[in-house]
Structure 1
Amino acid sequence: MCDQKFKNVSPLMNELIDKAKNIFKFNGEIAKQLFLYDAFDLNQKVDISVERMYFSEVIKHVPKTFTIKLFDEHQSSSDFSVIDFKTLTHANVYDGDTMVLTIIVYDTEGDDWMFRLNNDIRLPAKHIYFHSIKWDVDYVKPEIVLMYELLDPIDYHQLPNYKNVIEALSYYQFVMLRLVVGDDRINQALISERKAI
């Protein structure tokens, strides 16, 4: 059953899927659930990722009944003229007082995706996501989701499920995660998850 405060998330996401699904990828908890169970629950807060050049294309499909707050590394604002587009890190979308969507911005150079926290870490952009045949949507690979969740200060507002995801990673995916975040950060995340449960 849908929590009433998230009742407008599914219609919002269906609109974005209908109008812009080829230019964004599901991220966060939705991506992890797609990876682990091929589950697709839009009755909760949603995270998506979009390449910087397509950000405005996604935003234009968010109905005016929602409030959009933009963030860079130093400030946040609902005034689009205040935030420098080149330093935009993410936007939060609110339904009243409830944050219902986070749009995470990523950059590419040529055909390479760049990890925002360390631009020396790059992958071919076409290798940062999987496609769910069942739901016909793209989602960010779990090791990349975890790289951001374990290192980025964005508050994802969701209970962690690091253990399940880490255990489901392939050897290559785990090595990639480990190289980027390190053993200490992985261990800290697993300990914090156990405490949260």
Structure 2
Amino acid sequence: MTERAGPYAQSEADANREDAALEGTRLPHLAGPAAELRQVLAAHALRDCAHIVEIGGAGLPITGFLTHRPLSVTVIDPKIPDHEAQTLNGAPCRVRHVRAKLQQAPPSPPEGRLGLVLLGLSLKPFGRGEAVDETLLGLIRRAEVMVIDHALALDRALGQIGPILAARGGAPLIDLELRINDAALAAAGYDRRRFLVFSR
């Protein structure tokens, strides 16, 4: 069992139950331990954020990777089960995992230093709503820290990164091209990735 902070930092038996309940449905090509490097890097970039909003995440929320003590964490992902908690890492924190698409459950983070996470960027439209809509663009403009990861071979992500970067403006603090040496990722064609961090 991997030791993790937050809701994963429990006894082994409890943690195994929590892992199953909180992680949700992970895409097969993102289920290997090497793919979790993205969450580890993102958690480091978010360490000074009081409020964190994650959109998506492929069934593995950022919550369990955070090592600091934020005031709120909201994860919106159709692949995770609903979950609420009032503490994280031994401190008060409003934790909400919402099994939905962003268009169904737009977050309203409190005032304060906001971190926005978009790991595995591959947003889909919902109903008549665009995949990259005004709710998301508003979060992008407001966030003091924004972390994005996407596969370089995924056309959907390549079509979305332009409008997202235009809404953000300015150069990224970190712009990395990663190659994750994972057989499942390589077989899917998604082992080459771009990892971006914006901060102001």
Normalising by structure 1, we get a TM-score of: 0.34
Larger % of helix: which?
A: 1
Normalising by structure 2, we get a TM-score of: 0.33
